[in-house]
């Protein structure tokens, strides 16, 4: 009996070891993705189900957002592993394209978007954006005291009311991109504003925090005494969806104002990619009209950038540039080229002391 059992046990053990160490099947396409994984991973899985293709999905953590994957792509330039890069912002895409890491888009992709949301050289396209907005605590402020401009972050009237304002330190993510955009547009004016923000943070008129999510969380609870925070629409929507006493204000609207800054998703093909045809197929699918509608209806409530979605079923809380608010005119090519220009200045002003 024991003699008969031993071979069976050995076979089962061998099968268990093989199952643990067996090589993963070769992917059909490799996607590097900097978009929130609670939404983007599901979209990659939907593509797998619809087309029977295996997508190797590589995301990045919140702390490395907009930093980790661009650095990985630069380090892999001589031997690319990724086929498609789907980024949650635009500044790094310009930098990567200028470094020669991105390939031309498939024919017809760029033409589906307005000229301001596509690369003039045809290397990437922008879609599904977030707006840089104020999240106002309506338990703490009456409507006549709502902010309307970035400058209102510095208004002393909120301190007189026993309140503060709040934003993330402009060292990472969309807040860093926003700061570089301000400095690129007008360096002297940008530094004046950012210097004033640093001073307001030092003297307690503002709270300077680690992330947009933290900025949103402080504004949503009146016990924190934060009148309003600067954050992104995807973070603001979390507080709205949870029923907190908040409202969103799109800053710098109206005649003579610069408009609200939009930070779009971007997507591109990696030059020298291992799966060229499958990569082109995935990219075309990611930027379809259906994908923008899916992103708008998802947890990030991203803003479609196409102008031909008049009949689309979009949520009421997803506002449209040119229809519901005025978007700022940003020269993203120059912003990308200035990506590191003011890094030392911003670190000196905003990096917390060790």
- Summarised one tens digit per residue, pLDDT across range 135-153 is 999 999 999 999 999 999 9
Average pLDDT over residues 112-124: 92
- At residue 248, the pLDDT reads 97
How far apart CA 288 and CA 330 sit, in angstroms, is 24
Whether the CA torsion 218, 222, 223, 228 is positive or negative: it is positive
Query: What confidence tens digit (pLDDT) does each residue in 75-89 have?
Result: 999 999 999 999 999
> Nearest-5° angle of CA 49, CA 52, CA 53?
105
- At residue 250, the pLDDT reads 98
- At residue 5, the pLDDT reads 54
**Residue 182 CB burial class (10 angstroms; 0-12, 13-18, ≥19):** buried
Q: Measured between alpha carbons, how far is residue 183 from residues 106, 144, 180 in Å?
A: 33, 30, 5
- At residue 18, the pLDDT reads 45
Q: Residue 62 above 70 pLDDT? A: no
Please state the pTM of the whole predicted model: 0.88
Q: pLDDT category, 19, cuts 50, 70, 90?
A: very low
How far apart CA 22 and CA 319 sit, in angstroms, is 48
Fold of 130-261+341-350: D-Maltodextrin-Binding Protein; domain 2 (3.40.190)
Task: Express as a percent the part of the chain with pLDDT over 90.
Answer: 80
Query: What confidence tens digit (pLDDT) does each residue in 242-277 have?
Result: 999 999 999 999 889 999 999 999 999 999 999 999
Residues in Cβ contact with 151 at an 8 Å cutoff, skipping those fewer than 6 apart: 193
Q: Which of 14-28, 208-222, 296-310 has the highest mean pLDDT?
A: 208-222
Q: Is 122 left (phi over 0), alpha (psi -120 to 50) or beta?
A: left
CA dihedral 221, 227, 233, 234 (to 10 degrees): -20
- At residue 8, the pLDDT reads 59
Q: Where in the chain is the domain with CATH 3.40.190.10?
A: 29-128+264-319, 130-261+341-350
* Average predicted confidence (pLDDT) for the chain: 91
Q: Measured between alpha carbons, how far is residue 95 from residues 33, 71, 89, 263 in Å?
A: 17, 11, 12, 15
- At residue 312, the pLDDT reads 75
- At residue 68, the pLDDT reads 81
Fold of 29-128+264-319: D-Maltodextrin-Binding Protein; domain 2 (3.40.190)
What is the residue-wise DSSP string for 196-265?
Answer: HHHHHHHTTSEEEES-HHHHHHHHH-GGG-EEEEEEEHHHHHHHHHTT-SEEEE-SS-STT---B-EEEE
Q: pLDDT category, 12, cuts 50, 70, 90?
A: low
Q: Residue 336 above 90 pLDDT? A: yes
Average pLDDT over residues 164-172: 96
Average pLDDT over residues 186-200: 98
């Amino acid at each position: 009996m024991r003699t008969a059992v031993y071979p069976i046990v050995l076979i089962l053990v061998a099968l268990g070891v093989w199952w643990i160490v067996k090589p993963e099947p070769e992917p059909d396409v490799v996607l590097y993705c900097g978009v929130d994984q609670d939404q983007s991973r599901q979209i990659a899985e939907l593509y797998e189900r619809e087309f029977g293709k295996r997508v190797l999905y590589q995301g990045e953590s919140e702390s490395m957002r907009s930093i980790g994957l661009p650095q990985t792509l630069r380090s892999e330039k001589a031997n690319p592993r990724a086929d498609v890069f789907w980024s949650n912002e635009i500044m790094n895409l310009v930098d990567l394209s200028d470094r020669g890491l991105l390939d031309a888009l498939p024919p017809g992709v760029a033409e589906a978007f307005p000229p301001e949301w596509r690369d003039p050289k045809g290397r990437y396209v922008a879609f599904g954006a977030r707006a840089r907005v104020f999240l106002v605590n309506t338990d703490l402020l009456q409507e006549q005291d709502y902010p309307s401009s970035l400058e209102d972050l510095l208004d002393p009237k909120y301190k007189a009311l026993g309140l503060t304002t709040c934003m993330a330190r402009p060292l990472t993510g969309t807040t860093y991109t926003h700061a570089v955009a301000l400095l690129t547009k007008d360096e002297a004016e940008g530094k004046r504003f950012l210097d004033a923000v640093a001073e307001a943070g030092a003297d307690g008129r503002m709270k300077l925090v680690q992330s947009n999510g933290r900025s949103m969380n402080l504004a949503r609870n009146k016990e924190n005494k934060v009148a309003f925070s600067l954050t992104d629409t995807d973070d603001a929507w979390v507080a709205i969806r949870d029923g907190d006493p908040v409202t969103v204000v799109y800053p710098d609207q109206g005649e003579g104002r610069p408009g609200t800054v939009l930070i779009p998703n971007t997507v591109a093909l990696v030059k020298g990619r291992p799966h060229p045809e499958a990569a082109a197929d995935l990219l075309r699918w990611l930027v379809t009209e259906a994908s923008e509608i899916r992103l708008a209806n998802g947890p990030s409530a991203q803003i479609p950038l196409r102008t031909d979605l008049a009949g689309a079923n979009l949520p009421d809380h997803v506002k449209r540039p040119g229809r519901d608010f005025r978007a700022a005119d940003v020269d993203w090519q120059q912003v990308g080229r200035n990506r590191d220009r003011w890094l030392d200045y911003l670190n000196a002003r905003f990096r917390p002391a060790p």
